[in-house]
Amino acid sequence: MAEKHLKILQRLRALFKRAKVAPRAGGEVQPAAAAACRRRPKRGAAECIAHFLAAKDTGPRQDRAFLQAVRGFCHGRERSLPSCKQRIAEKIRDIMHKSFLALEARLVGCMEAVAELSKFHPPLRTDLRQSIVAWALGMVLGGPPIQADPAGQALQQKAEEALRRMLRGLIREDPSAGHLDTLLDQLLYWLRVSWPAPRARAAALLRDVLLDACKMPGLNISSQHTFGHVVAKLSVSLADPEAEVREKAREVFGQLMQLQQKKQGRSQFTWEEDPERPWRESYAHLITAAEVFGGHLSARQRLSLQEAALEDALSLDGRWVREGGLLVLLSLLGQARALLEEEEEIEDLRSNLSALLYNMWRGREVPPEIAALLPSSDE
């Protein structure tokens, strides 16, 4: 009898080792759940998700199985998720936070899973969505440098594509003005960091996000009261010291101008060139953008543009940010182009701008129109 029981135990042990049977108790996701995902895509994915949500501690293997299960389930024609969407997103966020030393394929899988998860309603909680987006932007745009080998470059490109898909999905999930404003603020932050590469990537990503947002029915960013804030913050990038950032910023403004042309019945817009003094082009582009948009903004939008430009002029960011903010203010007052035309050298222009900025900081002789925008001493 004992020999018979021993054979039964040996057979059960063999079944466990081959992942034919999964333990009933909660804990680490077992290989059986991952195998079920492959054998029965829909039902297996739901089981894998449920196992993972019940688990306390997971490793890389279980994380990958869970992300694959989420993507596999969302690819189907199911109308509802097998578990709470918020809980699934929280687990994805926790997995994302495990990638903080370097960009990993696991982070790419997280962004792809969020993109698929965004197909289901209700939308994610605002704080959860902001946390996911902030971490993804930090790792993809400003994370540790990627090695120059082909594998590292391929991973960076794949991560940027996954980030675009994730942001596109989140916009479609919640095509509201408040959501778009928050998302644009997160992207505009990366346009003033010290490192050139993140700024260029952020400008390209902002271009794609605006293009997706403009395609959403009923979501016209040029009609929002915060549109002036976006114009002011983006205008500064037209004078960025990096040519790649300036080029992408012009592409973004091209999209915004296209919307404005349709709204105002304008036919075309071109960036002016100055071959004899090429250093003037970026400043001229900034002034032109401020003049064109400033003349077609509502009173509330114009106020948001003034506030954002003043914030840049008084900020501690890069020199081009402070100078750009001041030029936007002077453009609204009709004084920027005359200041640009009277200077023959870039150093002369920068000296004048530096003097004006110093006076603004010290509260000395400041043009009355700009002084009216400055915070009072009590503030």
Task: Give the separation between CA 33 and CA 66, rounded to whole angstroms.
Answer: 9
d(CA 205, CA 377): 39
Q: Residue 74: inside a domain, yes or no?
A: yes
Q: Whole-prediction pTM value?
A: 0.80
Last residue of a domain, one of 120, 146, 166: 120
Looking at residue 147, its pLDDT comes to 62
- Please report the pLDDT score of residue 79 as a whole number: 83
Q: Is residue 252 part of a domain?
A: yes
Is the distance from CB of 233 to CB of 188 less than 8 angstroms?
yes
In a domain, 309, yes or no: yes
356 and 229 share one domain: yes
213-243 burial by CB neighbour count: b if 16+ within 10 A, else e?
Answer: beeeeebebbebebbbbbbbbbbbbbbbebe
Same domain, 109 and 230: no
Out of 120, 147, 178, pick the residue that ends a domain: 120
279: which DSSP letter? H
Pair 101, 231 in one domain: no
Residue 145 confidence (pLDDT):
64
Which of 252, 253, 361, 240 is CA-nearest to residue 310?
A: 361
Residue range(s) defining the domain that contains residue 287: 225-379
DSSP-assigned states of every residue in 199-263: HHHHHHHHHHHHHHHHHSTT--GGGSTTHHHHHHHHHGGGG-SSHHHHHHHHHHHHHHHHHHHHH
User: In terms of domains, do 242 and 110 share one?
Assistant: no
- Tokens representing 38? 């492959």
- What does the alpha-carbon distance between residue 262 and residue 244 come to, in Å, rounded to a whole number? 28
- Is the separation of the CB atoms in 239 and 246 below 8 Å? yes
Q: Which of 312, 343, 317 has its CA nearest to residue 328? A: 312
- Helix, strand or coil, per DSSP, at residue 282: helix
- The predicted pLDDT at position 56 comes to 81
The verdict on 363 and 239 lying in the same domain is: yes
Q: What is the pLDDT along the chain (379 residues), one digit of tens a residue?
A: 556 555 565 665 655 444 433 433 334 444 544 444 444 445 588 889 998 999 888 888 999 999 999 999 988 777 889 899 999 999 999 999 998 878 889 999 999 999 999 999 899 999 999 999 999 999 999 876 666 678 888 898 999 999 999 999 999 999 887 888 889 889 999 998 988 889 999 999 998 998 888 788 777 777 778 888 889 999 999 999 999 999 999 988 887 776 655 555 444 567 878 777 888 899 999 999 998 888 888 888 888 899 999 999 988 888 899 999 999 999 988 889 988 888 888 888 899 899 888 888 877 677 777 777 776 655 4
What total number of domains does the chain contain? 2
Contacts of 377 (CB under 8 A, 6+ apart): 363
Domain membership of residue 127 (yes or no) is: no
pLDDT of residue 45: 86
Crossing angle of helices 126-142 and 177-189, in 10° steps, is 30
Q: Identify whether residues 115 and 229 lie together within a single domain.
A: no
Domain endpoint, select from 101, 120, 139: 120
pLDDT for the residue 259 = 60
Closest to 331 (Cα-Cα) out of 363, 357, 309, 311: 309
Asked if residue 365 and residue 232 are part of one domain, the reply reads: yes
pLDDT at 22 (0 to 100): 40
Enter the tokens of residue 131: 């946390």
Q: Please answer whether residues 270 and 317 qualify as being in contact, where contact means their C-beta atoms are separated by less than 8 angstroms.
A: no
Full DSSP string of 83-112: S-HHHHHHHHHHHHTT--SS--HHHHHHHH
In a domain, 149, yes or no: no
Q: 328 in a domain, yes or no?
A: yes
DSSP 309-361: HHHHHTSSS-HHHHHHHHHHHHHHTT-HHHHHHT-SSHHHHHHHHHHHHHHHH
Residue 214: what pLDDT? 77
Q: Which two tokens stand for residue 244?
A: 């790649």
Does residue 6 belong to any structural domain of this protein? Answer: no
Dist. CA 143–CA 100, nearest whole Å: 8
Q: Does any domain span residue 68?
A: yes
